[in-house]
Amino acid sequence: MAGQAHVHIGCCGWHYDDWRGPFYENDTDPDQELGSYAITFDTVEIDSTFYGIPLATTVHQWYQRTPARFRFAAKVPRSVTHEGSLAEGVREFRAFCTVMRGLGQKLGVLLIQLPPSFTVQSAGVLDDFLDQLPTDIRFAVEVRHRSLFTGEVYDMLRHHRVAWVISDITGLPIAEEVTADFSYIRWMGNRDDVRVFDRETINRSAELVAWRERIIALREQVSEIFGYFNNHYSGHAPATAQRFKEMIGLPTTRRTLWRQASLLDGLP
């Protein structure tokens, strides 16, 4: 229904030592972190899958430690997207999809993140790869080269019903393209700006106001929105994600939001 898209807001990953104290209790067992995270957020983007296909037992643990409402996004392994051509990684990709199906209804989206070296000259390779995607899983594509910000690529994704990732990342434009019946957003920032992730050190208030308006517009065009904050965006993803949830009318449950709000006082 127009304007009623379900919005999932979460973080890129859930296991960071710097989150102990500000977000997790100091004595939280690592095996309990995901369950604790899921009290506050209904989605997470798994980064560890970028480095290899997880064990089926690990995927089962992710499923067991989260409530029924929870949704996972996960990066496609770099062996598929970054090492060699996409065509060479098809077998690995299919094996990855098979394992991730273990999440059942909790599998939200699989993220195909292309490297900066992947340009529009390889658009045909991408088209061929997308033509082989399974139809029972939703996919999103993130590009890191300006040449791919073109109507040709947007139309290709629409043809395959794959979401264009709307990324807020230093050095690239924000292209608010809708190419599927859902949208995928990543707030990335600059990896060189933040080294410690225990508090917000960059004031993103003005940017978040603009993003609230973008979300309002997107909710008129899609049925579901997945959005993920990286620690590098402002310093401490849980606080920024909760702040944004409140701004768009979603419930928040952690004391972190208020603690971090005071830390922002006086920031430029």
Query: pLDDT per residue over 197-217, tens digit each?
Result: 999 999 999 999 999 999 999
Residue 1 lies in a domain: no
pLDDT for position 38: 97
Q: Is the pLDDT of residue 225 over 90?
A: yes
pLDDT for position 3: 60
Range of the domain at 222: 6-264
pLDDT for position 265: 46
The set of residues, in sequence order, having a beta carbon less than 8 Å from that of 265 and lying 6+ positions away, is none
Residue 18 lies in a domain: yes
pLDDT for position 264: 52
pLDDT for position 1: 35
Measured CA to CA, the distance from residue 55 to residue 184 in angstroms comes to 26
Residue 97 lies in a domain: yes
**Residue 267: band (very low, low, confident or very high) from pLDDT cuts 50, 70, 90:** low
Q: In the chain, what percentage of residues exceed pLDDT 90?
A: 89
**Residue 4: band (very low, low, confident or very high) from pLDDT cuts 50, 70, 90:** confident
Q: Residue 35 belongs to a domain with what CATH number?
A: 3.20.20.410
**CB atoms near residue 58 (< 10 Å):** 14
pLDDT for position 200: 96
Residue 186 lies in a domain: yes
* DSSP 8-state assignment for residue 24: B
pLDDT for position 262: 39
Residue 135 lies in a domain: yes
* pLDDT mean over 63-83: 98
The set of residues, in sequence order, having a beta carbon less than 8 Å from that of 211 and lying 6+ positions away, is 168, 187, 244
Q: Is the pLDDT of residue 252 over 90?
A: no
Residue 24 lies in a domain: yes
* pLDDT mean over 79-90: 93
Average pLDDT score over the chain: 94
Residue 125 CA: distances (Å) to CA of 83, 90, 109, 153, 178:
14, 12, 21, 12, 22
Helical ranges in 101-186 per DSSP H: 123-130, 151-160
Closest CA to 81 of 54, 107, 121, 116: 116
Structural domains of the chain, count? 1
pLDDT for position 254: 59
Residue 257 lies in a domain: yes
pLDDT digits (tens, 9 = 90+) for 9-56: 999 999 999 999 999 999 999 999 999 999 999 999 999 999 999 999
Measured CA to CA, the distance from residue 211 to residue 217 in angstroms comes to 10
Q: Which two tokens stand for residue 8?
A: 């999932």
Q: Is the pLDDT of residue 268 over 80?
A: no
* DSSP 8-state assignment for residue 202: S
Residue 202 CA: distances (Å) to CA of 84, 98, 185, 194, 242:
37, 40, 19, 9, 15
Residue 104 lies in a domain: yes
